[in-house]
């Protein structure tokens, strides 16, 4: 169902967080470089955003390759880049810059987060939908990633787990160290310190499972730009 072009994301899509919830998320983020934001989306918000993703996914591209600038880690997934989202989805663009959302990210991050100018990478859609699909090891170019789940595997046994290791010296430490592994549900989100935390999504283990996320990148006014080839390889 297409949205009228004046359709606005609103607080209707986002569940309120209490002061205590935000303080706990801030503490977790400070320690782990990761904080879950369970139930970030309201049930209605999840329904509308999932419908929006279904509408957009026809324009997404299948990607199957290894990324040389990220230790040849695999990408088996379908993606839609920020420039395509900007053209086709006023709803997602508005949600990306939504003041309530930016306020929440800033509170959990512990510093004012601002939107990323790069049209390709600022907001992207990632879909894992075949057995074996995976988003391999990497770090992001920008300091903060807000990942919002629109579809998620039912069980941790289905794969699609986020694995992350804060302040990792190298991507190889995801194999040699003891990364955290986390399962999320549709409507959940998490904030990641994504430029210094090695992370990846484990392969889907069976057919019929889908994992669809929005990744919203944020930065700060003082963050030094760090540009790799990764976004161009995955989203252009
Ligand atoms: O899907 C996820 O949980 C991680 C997404 C991610 O790391 C990215 O898009 O850079
Ligand atoms: Fe990432």
Domain membership of residue 6 (yes or no) is no
Choose among 216, 16, 191: nearest CA to 116: 216
CB atoms within 10 A of CB 166: 17
Domain membership of residue 27 (yes or no) is yes
Give the Cα separation of 166 and 70 in Å (integer): 16
pLDDT tens digits along 12-59: 799 989 999 999 999 999 999 999 999 999 999 999 999 999 999 999
Query: Which range of residues forms the domain containing residue 206?
Result: 16-220+228-235
Closest atom of ligand 1 relative to the 199 alpha carbon? 7
Domain membership of residue 183 (yes or no) is yes
Averaged pLDDT, 161-172: 97
Supply the pTM of this predicted model.
0.95
Averaged pLDDT, 93-108: 96
Domain of 150, CATH number, reads: 2.60.120.620
Domain membership of residue 152 (yes or no) is yes
pLDDT tens digits along 122-153: 999 999 999 999 999 999 999 999 999 999 99
Shortest-distance ligand to the CA of residue 231: 1
Closest atom of ligand 1 relative to the 184 alpha carbon? 3
Confidence (pLDDT) at 9: 55
Give per-residue burial for 138-162: e unless 16+ CB within 10 Å, then b.
Answer: bbbbbbbbbbbbbbbbeeeebbbbb
Confidence (pLDDT) at 206: 97
Q: How confident is the model at residue 175 (pLDDT cuts 50, 70, 90)?
A: very high
Domain membership of residue 76 (yes or no) is yes
In whole numbers, what is the pLDDT of the chain averaged over residues? 94
Q: In the chain, what percentage of residues exceed pLDDT 70?
A: 95
C-alpha 199 – ligand 2 centre gap (Å): 6
Are 83 and 120 a contacting pair, CB within 8 Å?
A: yes
Q: How confident is the model at residue 4 (pLDDT cuts 50, 70, 90)?
A: very low
- Is there an atom of ligand 1 within 6 Å of 91 CB? no
Domain membership of residue 65 (yes or no) is yes
Domain membership of residue 41 (yes or no) is yes
C-alpha 200 – ligand 1 centre gap (Å): 7
Confidence (pLDDT) at 10: 58
By the CB criterion, residues less than 5 angstroms from ion ligand 2 are: 140
Domain membership of residue 4 (yes or no) is no
- Is there an atom of ligand 1 within 6 Å of 121 CB? no
Looking at the 3D structure of the chain, how many domains does it have?
1
């Amino acid at each position: 169902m297409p949205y009228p072009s004046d359709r606005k994301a609103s607080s209707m899509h986002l569940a309120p967080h209490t002061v205590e919830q935000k303080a706990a998320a801030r503490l977790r983020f400070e320690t782990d470089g990761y904080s879950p934001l369970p139930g970030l989306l309201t049930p209605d918000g999840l329904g509308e955003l999932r419908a929006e993703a279904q509408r957009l996914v026809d324009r997404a591209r299948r990607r199957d390759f290894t990324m040389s600038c990220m230790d040849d880690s695999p990408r088996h997934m379908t993606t839609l880049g920020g420039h395509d989202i900007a053209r086709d989805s006023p709803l997602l663009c508005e949600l990306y810059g939504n003041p309530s959302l930016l306020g929440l990210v800033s509170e959990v991050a512990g510093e004012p987060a601002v939107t990323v100018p790069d049209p390709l990478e600022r907001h992207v859609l990632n879909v894992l939908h075949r057995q074996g699909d995976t988003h391999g090891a990497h770090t992001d170019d920008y300091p903060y990633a807000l990942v919002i789940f629109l579809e998620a595997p039912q069980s941790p046994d289905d794969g699609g787990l986020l694995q992350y290791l804060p302040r990792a010296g190298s991507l190889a430490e995801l194999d040699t160290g003891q990364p955290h592994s986390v399962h999320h549900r549709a409507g959940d989100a998490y904030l990641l310190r994504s430029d210094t935390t090695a992370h990846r999504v484990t392969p889907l283990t069976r057919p019929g499972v889908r994992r669809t996320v929005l990744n919203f990148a944020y930065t700060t006014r003082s963050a030094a730009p760090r540009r790799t080839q990764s976004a161009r390889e995955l989203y252009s």
